[in-house]
């Protein structure tokens, strides 16, 4: 039992050390605007940055690092440019603030000590921002409609859901492509594994890894009104994958503006009238 506890403590210690190393490495990239001029100043003879190209390279490393962190720190797989831009600015603001603070606090004659302090402080600030973004995304996911959803579906994604029939009040489990998102539901096009070649209302959709069971291509509705699916009727917490790019262009170009009849119209009426 004692050995098991020691192993657990060793594992925690290794994880903590790994996080510390990652923080220092990431911090050194974010802190290049301070570290590089400081490193050049201790050379013999002392040197300094000169020319727009050198400044662009030094600051570019920091900005690109912040952008990469912004892209991969969120829980959502969907790329939203303004979210990435805002999070990049957040990483830069926190990182550079910590960088300047550490530079002012550490007055060592040795560059290695100054560099380690600046890199560590900048990396810790980036880690705090990373954890904050993860917490924020998790909190937003918990507030999303539907108890199973980790986040709301997005346009162009393939999901597994209870898709309503067009002429009845029943629904069946199907893959579907999200065409639009609304306040309380998503408008989808149903995917089927039945061969629909030669039909004008279906096109082949490549199986880009979202159906791991069959591994085969499917067919998706096209040129017909989408079906409204409440967010609570989506059966997974994450999308199966994304719709093939060429297929998605065809679906968008052929999508009518309205929703379907039957259960679809009843659902849409309930949503738009506030459940009256």
Domain boundaries, the chain: 2-143, 157-272
Angle at alpha carbon of residue 250, lines to 150 and 193, rounded to 5°: 65
Tokens found for residue 120: 């560590």
Question: With contact defined as beta carbons under 8 Å apart, do 172 and 190 qualify?
Answer: no
pLDDT of residue 150: 60
Cα distance between residue 236 and residue 133, in whole Å: 23
Q: What is the DSSP letter of 165?
A: P
Q: What are phi and psi of 215, to 5 degrees?
A: 70, 10
pLDDT of residue 237: 82
Question: With contact defined as beta carbons under 8 Å apart, do 49 and 37 qualify?
Answer: yes
Whether residue 45 is preceded by a cis peptide bond, meaning omega within 30 degrees of 0, is: yes
Condensed to tens digits (0 to 9), the pLDDT of residues 35-65 reads 999 999 999 999 999 999 999 999 999 999 9
pLDDT of residue 149: 52
Residue among 73, 72, 77 at smallest CA distance from 237: 77
Cα distance between residue 10 and residue 4, in whole Å: 10
Q: pTM of the full predicted structure?
A: 0.53
Residue 139's CB: how many other CB atoms inside 10 A? 9
pLDDT of residue 213: 80
pLDDT of residue 15: 82
The pairing of beta strand 185-192 with beta strand 171-181: antiparallel
What are residue 205's DSSP bridge partners? 218
Longest C-alpha distance within the chain, in Å? 83
pLDDT of residue 75: 61
Q: Name residues of the chain where pLDDT drops below 70.
A: 1-8, 75-79, 138-150, 257-276
pLDDT of residue 143: 52
Tokens found for residue 252: 């968008």
Please compute, for residue 148, the number of CA atoms within 13 A of its CA located in the half-sphere on the CB side.
Answer: 15
157-272: what CATH class?
mainly beta
Angle at alpha carbon of residue 268, lines to 267 and 269, rounded to 5°: 90
pLDDT of residue 257: 56
């Amino acid at each position: 039992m004692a050995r098991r506890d020691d192993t657990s403590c060793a594992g925690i210690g290794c994880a903590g050390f790994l996080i510390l190393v990652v923080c220092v490495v990431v911090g050194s990239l974010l802190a290049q605007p301070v570290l590089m001029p400081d490193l050049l100043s201790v050379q013999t003879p002392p040197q300094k940055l000169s020319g727009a190209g050198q400044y662009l390279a030094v600051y570019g490393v920091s900005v690109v690092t912040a952008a990469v962190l912004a892209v991969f720190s969120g829980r959502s797989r969907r790329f939203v440019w303004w979210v990435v831009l805002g999070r990049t600015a957040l990483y830069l603001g926190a990182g550079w603030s910590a960088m300047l603070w550490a530079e002012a606090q550490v007055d060592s004659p040795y560059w290695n000590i100054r560099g380690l302090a600046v890199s560590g402080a900048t990396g810790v600030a980036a880690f705090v921002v990373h954890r904050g973004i993860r917490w924020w995304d998790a909190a937003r996911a918990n507030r999303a409609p539907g108890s199973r959803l980790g986040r709301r579906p997005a346009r162009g994604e393939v999901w597994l859901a209870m898709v309503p029939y067009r002429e009845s009040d029943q629904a069946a489990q199907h893959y579907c492509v999200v065409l639009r998102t609304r306040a309380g539901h998503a408008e989808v096009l149903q995917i089927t594994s039945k061969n629909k070649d030669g039909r004008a209302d279906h096109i082949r959709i490549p199986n880009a890894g979202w159906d791991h069971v069959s591994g085969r291509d499917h067919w998706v509705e096209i040129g017909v009104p989408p079906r409204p699916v409440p967010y609570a009727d989506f059966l997974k917490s994450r999308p199966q994958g994304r719709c093939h790019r060429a297929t998605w262009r065809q679906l968008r170009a052929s999508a009518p503006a309205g929703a379907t009849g039957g259960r679809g119209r009843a659902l849409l009426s309930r949503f738009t009238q506030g459940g009256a």
